[in-house]
Amino acid sequence: MKPKIWFNGKLVDWKDCNIHITSYSLHYGAAAFEGIRFYETAKGIALFRLKDHIKRLVKSSEILGMYSRYNENDLVNAAKLTVKSSGMNSGYLRPIVFYGESELYVHAKDSPVNAAMIVLPWKKYLKNNAVKVMSSSYMRLHPKSVPMEAKISGYYANSLFAIIEARKNGFDEALLADYKGNAAEGPAENFFIVKNNVLMTPPLGNILPGVTRDSIIALAKDNKIRVQEKNFRLEDAKKADEAFFTGTGAEITPIIQIDKEKIGNGKIGYLTKKLTSLFRDVVSGKNKKYDKWLEYV
Ligand code: PMP
């Protein structure tokens, strides 16, 4: 049986959770959403960095001028309730705040603000253990066109263009540059490279401030791995020793090829493996220091 969906304060059967065709967010791409994984641990089921995700959700919706009747605390409790009621031990939670039924004016002010939480059984986001990526001909969104710190559904049209192009060309995923031509991020992932044992990732500004990105930076620093948040070109990335994506869906996904160039020796790199193992321990509750990142249902 499909899990119940939390919709405006109530758990609703999957098949009954429907919205009106005039919903503003469907027409204009203006919804705020999150992706949050939950994992099985010795102490029970835990949502990874739930409060940080909910903070970003509320911030994204307020940036859109969309004020939900549910505050951060309500949404945290709703997330836990939805996961608990699903009966699943691990999976993916999708909270979304969106404008409902409308008269289709672009100003949106005739629309009610809705909130929902959906649970899905997600294993892997990218189907391969290690991926080949195409540097996209599409540019990542310009920070003067949209606030890049927000996670807004409409932004994903840019992601989808890049994915369609990459798949058409035989790649697993795309890699986008920012408006200055620096490496930015994947369609749904942040991007890291390793060069001479230094971990490098584009600074905040032209990318989504990923929760997984932040977690990997913290874990790397903790383990005496040098980290630099700085700009580099896609051409530099192709000469890296290692490369990987991070994201709630992608977790840590090694990149073994960019365009025609093999990364390192074309196999999963040493630091990528090490960080993956550190991350696994954290999400499965085996690292006491980072128990603070686990929100038990
Ligand atoms: N960049 C983009 C464009 C994304 O959609 C995502 C997925 N939310 C990420 C980066 C990674 O963010 P997080 O680690 O918070 O999931």
> Per-residue pLDDT tens for 41-92?
999 999 999 999 999 999 999 999 999 999 999 999 999 999 999 999 999 9
Q: Cα(269)–Cα(198) distance, rounded to whole angstroms?
A: 13
Average confidence (pLDDT) over 248-261:
97
Ligand 1 pocket check for 95: Cβ under 6 Å: no
Distance 208 CA to ligand 1 centre (A): 6
pTM above 0.95, yes or no: yes
Distance 110 CA to ligand 1 centre (A): 30
Asked if 166 and 134 count as a contact pair (C-beta separation under 8 A), the reply is: yes
SS3 state at 234: helix
Backbone angles phi, psi at 244, to 5 degrees: -155, 160
**Tokens, residue 123:** 């294993």
What is the reported pLDDT for 126? 76
Span 121-177, pLDDT tens digits: 987 777 778 999 999 999 999 999 999 999 999 999 999 999 999 999 999 999 999
Asked if 181 and 159 count as a contact pair (C-beta separation under 8 A), the reply is: no
Residue with the larger pLDDT of the pair 244 and 126: 244
Specify the ligand 1 atom closest to the Cα of 187.
3
Span 190-229, pLDDT tens digits: 999 999 999 999 999 999 999 999 999 999 999 999 999 9
Mean of the per-residue pLDDT values of the chain? 97
Q: Examine the residue annotation and report whether 273 is marked as an active-site residue of this protein.
A: no
What is the reported pLDDT for 29? 97
Q: How confident is the model at residue 4 (pLDDT cuts 50, 70, 90)?
A: very high
Q: Cα(221)–Cα(62) distance, rounded to whole angstroms?
A: 32
Please identify which of the residues 109, 151, 238, 260 carries the catalytic annotation.
Answer: 151
Distance 124 CA to ligand 1 centre (A): 15
Beta-carbon contacts of residue 97 (< 8 Å; ≥ 6 apart): 31, 32, 33, 57, 58, 60, 61, 66, 68, 113, 114, 115
